[in-house]
Amino acid sequence: MPNSQKKIFDFLNSGNNIRWCLLSVVLLAFAITVYPSMLKISEYNYQPGDIAKADVKAPKDIFIEDQETTEEKRKQAVRDVLTIYDYDDTLIIRLTENIQKAFDNVRKVYETIHAEEEELAPATQESLPWQRIIEKKTVHDRIWETKAQFEKTLNIHTDENEYRILARYEFSKTISDLVIRILIEILENGVVSGKETLLRENESGGIIVRILSVRKELVLTDVRRYYSIEQAKSMVRIIAQPLLRDMPYTILNPVADLTQKLIQPNLTLNRSETEERRKKAAESIKAVLYKIKAGEIIIREGERVTEGHLRKLNALRSQAAEESTLARSMGAILMMMALILILFSFSVPDPLSLSNKDLLFMGCMLSVFFFLLKISSFFIEALVRHNPLSISATSLTLAIPLAASSMTICLFMRMRIAGPFALITAACTGIILQNRLEMFFYFLLNGLMAAYWVRHCRERKVFIKAGAKLGILNIALATALKLHTGEFPGIGFLWDVVFAFIGGIGTGIISAGLVALVESAFNYTTDITLLELSNLERPLLRRLMIEAPGTYHHSVVVGTMVEAAAAEIGANPLLVKVSAYYHDIGKIRKPLYFIENQMNAANRHEKLAPTMSGLILIAHVKDGVEIGRENKLGQPILDTIRQHHGTSLIRYFYEKAKARGVDTLTIEDFRYPGPKPQTREIGLVMLADVVEASSRTLENPTPSRIQGHVKKIMDAVLADGQLNECDLTLKDLYNIEKAFNKILNGIHHHRIEYVETPDGKEKKNGSSYHQSAKPAFNIPGKGATNGTDTIRCSEIP
């Protein structure tokens, strides 16, 4: 790994504050993607006739009022409101009462006068003529004194000639009845003031007549029958002539004149009520809006600004003023942060177990696909505007390979991370695509299934197979969407099918390309790479086989042991096997200093000081890490090389140094630098390493001896505290021990020995076991360790 890249990853693992920084950057990228206007607030100060300086695009769906259509609809609503007229059906009653009262008052005066005349009749006959003239003047005066009261009661003015004629007939009840009869006939027909206005209203569809006494409304479409004031007065004489045929002619004029003066309109225009209703009708009409879709160009650069452009720009500005982009962005950030934290809290048992590098990888994937989605939406808009095949934006959206993100995440971080990641990606996609719920479900389902189909990927062709499966799934989802929207079948459905399948295939192809890029950028190791590294024909392993054959054989056996044990405890068998192949790769540099490679040669450590021998053995860890980096073995394998000895003690040379009485001797000088195993897989390699090496010292390796030896060695490693920092439980150790026993029994299996007889024939001896050579001391670098620390256990078998 380059030095600069190493510094970056060391920095990322330096503290938890980095996690919040990464989360903040991802959320900011999401907010910018959803609300790009938060970066720039445009001002539109154009006037009609100005030239636009830049393209103006609607950031979201907006609705603009069509003022002309709205105004026309409101005018029509006003026209549809009929004019209100009040019909006073009590007017004839009031006039009748007043006429009867006025005439009765005068007739009472006459009755009084007549009664007085009867009482004074004898005296009147004996009176002188001039006395009778005085009495007549007195009667005349008394009748004329009632004129003012008569006019007040009727609310009219009568001239003297009319009143004189009425007095001549002593205000006969017949006359008052005639007046009332004529008035009733005229008022029942209806009398209106301003008939010209009424006729104009009739042309608009009629009028509404409100009968005041019963609060009832009638719609009348024919208003020509109503009299105007002049027509009503003309009708008085027409109606009166046949009624007064048998009466003196002199009575006609007073009756007609009196009736004409009493005529009043009983149908009057209620202007205030009409205006109020028309105002309410206009207000009830909602503004007519037309929609400008998100991304639609409002005005292009160099285009002349018109009134229509200004209306759209003003609407855009007013809408921006009503809603705070910053507030909306903060709201989106908070919602997405809550979703991310809650999902990962439930899906990951220990969220802190994710390294900062893992979080950086997920953050980069989210950010990249946010911008990919936004860029895709721009291209889709351009294609929709200029394609001649009438392909809809929805069809093109189905081809976006968004599931490649969850597919890639699953490959590096397994399904438990890929599932929540797919949900987060789908939720963000639904928001970015203008809160389209159907797109959320589409990308959620294909994201989950894309991750599911590559969860055991060990070959690159799996991406293409998964892409094909995803394409078929996308077709099914596109069909469901069309059925949901009611647009099935049709040419649009065919385009949906084509682009949905393209989206699936594209996802597989993009994921295959991303894997190599992510492995290189983030120093990850996938199962595909592990499978390639497990090939025993690789140059590094062939070099190990040639230069250090004993170490090579030991590594292969350890690989077999850990693979079987990993399957028992649920660890990664492929990772642990490949790690075992390379765990002692550092011995290539000094192979003859390790006893498994010495064969029958002299032991080179006999001529070295114990401290030097210890340094040589310890150096194979450092050498292995350097060789691993040079050959790009991947971080998990490098961690195994660095940690597979932990901080264990090289006891053989430590005891040898003690026996020689070295003055500056410290036990730390004979311990590996560590660190101790941090994962279950590395702990497995440590156990298999010491068990396999020490098992070669067994004499007569029967199953019971192998079982006892494995338990003894594993207990020693456990007691030394080398497994304290990995997640191996006592139950795991029990299952590991069983797996090791099975493999070692297979290696040291019972064999039939063929011996030669004196006659040259071979003879079977079935009582012997295949035995390994026994060294005089613990194998340098492979000796068992002792210690007093105990293992950290998470569960009891």
Residues 166, 254: contact at Cβ < 8 Å? Answer: yes
**What span, in angstroms and rounded, lies between the C-alpha atoms of 553 and 545?**
8
If asked whether residues 519 and 556 sit together in one domain, one would say no
> Is 53 a residue whose pLDDT tops 80?
no
156-160 long-range CB contacts below 8 Å, 24 or more apart?
A: 156/258, 156/261, 156/262, 157/261, 158/257, 158/258, 158/261
Q: Residue 427's pLDDT is what?
A: 85
> Is 188 a residue whose pLDDT tops 60?
yes
> Is there a domain that residue 219 lies in?
no
> Is there a domain that residue 599 lies in?
yes
Residue that is last in its domain, among 475, 497, 524: 524
If asked whether residues 556 and 424 sit together in one domain, one would say no
If asked whether residues 465 and 571 sit together in one domain, one would say no
Q: Choose the weakest-confidence range: 1-10, 64-73, 522-531, 787-796.
A: 787-796
If asked whether residues 366 and 400 sit together in one domain, one would say yes
> Is 482 a residue whose pLDDT tops 70?
yes
| CATH number of the domain enclosing 580 | 1.10.3210
Q: Residue 51's pLDDT is what?
A: 83
The alpha carbon dihedral of 83, 86, 89, 92 has a sign of negative
SS (H, E, C) 481-499: HHHHHCCCCCHHHHHHHHH
Tell me the average pLDDT across 279-302: 80
> Is 10 a residue whose pLDDT tops 90?
no
Alpha helices in 47-171 (DSSP H): 67-80, 91-119, 121-126, 129-145, 147-154, 160-168
Residue that is last in its domain, among 524, 547, 582: 524
> Is 93 a residue whose pLDDT tops 80?
yes
If we measure between CA atoms, which residue out of 198, 188, 189, 191 comes closest to residue 269? 198
> Is 774 a residue whose pLDDT tops 70?
no
If asked whether residues 634 and 666 sit together in one domain, one would say yes
> Is 351 a residue whose pLDDT tops 80?
no
The residue written with tokens 């099914």 in the block is: 476
Residues 403, 450: contact at Cβ < 8 Å? Answer: yes
Q: Tell me the three state secondary structure of residue 297.
A: strand
Residue that is last in its domain, among 524, 549, 567: 524
> Is there a domain that residue 180 lies in?
yes
Q: Choose the weakest-confidence range: 183-192, 318-327, 407-416, 437-446.
A: 318-327
Length of the chain, in residues: 797
> Is 738 a residue whose pLDDT tops 90?
yes
Tell me the average pLDDT across 92-101: 90
Phi/psi at 632 (nearest 5 deg)?
50, 55
Q: How far is CA 152 from CA 94, 98, 497, in A?
A: 14, 10, 94
Amino acid, single-letter form, for residue 442: Y
> Is there a domain that residue 186 lies in?
yes
The Cβ of residue 590 has, within 10 Å, a number of other Cβ atoms equal to 16
Tell me the average pLDDT across 153-165: 85
If asked whether residues 539 and 457 sit together in one domain, one would say no
Quick: pLDDT tens for 106-121. Answer: 888 888 888 877 776 5
Q: Residue 6's pLDDT is what?
A: 52
Q: Residue 541's pLDDT is what?
A: 93
Q: How sure is the predictor about 790, in pLDDT bands with cuts at 50, 70 and 90?
A: very low
**What span, in angstroms and rounded, lies between the C-alpha atoms of 164 and 162?**
5
Tell me the average pLDDT across 42-51: 71
Q: Choose the weakest-confidence range: 361-375, 633-647, 780-794.
A: 780-794
What share of the chain has pLDDT > 70, as a percent?
82
Q: How sure is the predictor about 445, in pLDDT bands with cuts at 50, 70 and 90?
A: very high
Residues 754, 762: contact at Cβ < 8 Å? Answer: yes
| CATH number of the domain enclosing 390 | 1.10.1760
Helix (H) or strand (E) holding 220: strand 216-220
Residues 620, 589: contact at Cβ < 8 Å? Answer: yes
pTM: 0.57
> Is there a domain that residue 62 lies in?
no
Residues 669, 611: contact at Cβ < 8 Å? Answer: yes
> Is 197 a residue whose pLDDT tops 60?
yes
If asked whether residues 480 and 584 sit together in one domain, one would say no
Q: Residue 788's pLDDT is what?
A: 29
Q: How sure is the predictor about 770, in pLDDT bands with cuts at 50, 70 and 90?
A: very low
Q: How sure is the predictor about 34, in pLDDT bands with cuts at 50, 70 and 90?
A: low
> Is there a domain that residue 57 lies in?
no
Quick: pLDDT tens for 751-768. Answer: 666 666 555 555 544 444
Quick: pLDDT tens for 66-82. Answer: 778 888 888 888 888 88
Tell me the average pLDDT across 200-205: 75
| Mean pLDDT of the residues in the chain | 80
Q: How sure is the predictor about 132, in pLDDT bands with cuts at 50, 70 and 90?
A: very low
**What span, in angstroms and rounded, lies between the C-alpha atoms of 528 and 76?**
74
If asked whether residues 166 and 255 sit together in one domain, one would say yes
Residues 186, 231: contact at Cβ < 8 Å? Answer: no
> Is 472 a residue whose pLDDT tops 90?
yes
Q: How sure is the predictor about 527, in pLDDT bands with cuts at 50, 70 and 90?
A: confident
| Domain encompassing residue 453 | 333-524
> Is there a domain that residue 73 lies in?
no
Q: How sure is the predictor about 158, in pLDDT bands with cuts at 50, 70 and 90?
A: confident
Q: Are strands 297-299 and 289-292 parallel, antiparallel or unpaired?
A: unpaired
The Cβ of residue 606 has, within 10 Å, a number of other Cβ atoms equal to 7
> Is 574 a residue whose pLDDT tops 70?
yes
> Is there a domain that residue 286 lies in?
no
CA–centroid distance for 749 within its chain = 63
Phi/psi at 395 (nearest 5 deg)?
-60, -45
Quick: pLDDT tens for 209-265. Answer: 888 888 888 888 888 888 888 988 888 888 888 887 777 777 888 888 888 888 999
If asked whether residues 378 and 442 sit together in one domain, one would say yes
Phi/psi at 227 (nearest 5 deg)?
-85, 145
Q: Residue 765's pLDDT is what?
A: 47
If asked whether residues 505 and 541 sit together in one domain, one would say no
Q: Residue 757's pLDDT is what?
A: 57
Residues 752, 764: contact at Cβ < 8 Å? Answer: yes
**What span, in angstroms and rounded, lies between the C-alpha atoms of 108 and 69?**
71
Number of domains in the chain: 3
If asked whether residues 484 and 555 sit together in one domain, one would say no
46's CB contacts (< 8 A; 6+ apart) are 52, 305, 309, 310, 313
Quick: pLDDT tens for 293-320. Answer: 766 777 777 788 887 777 777 777 766 6
If asked whether residues 259 and 346 sit together in one domain, one would say no
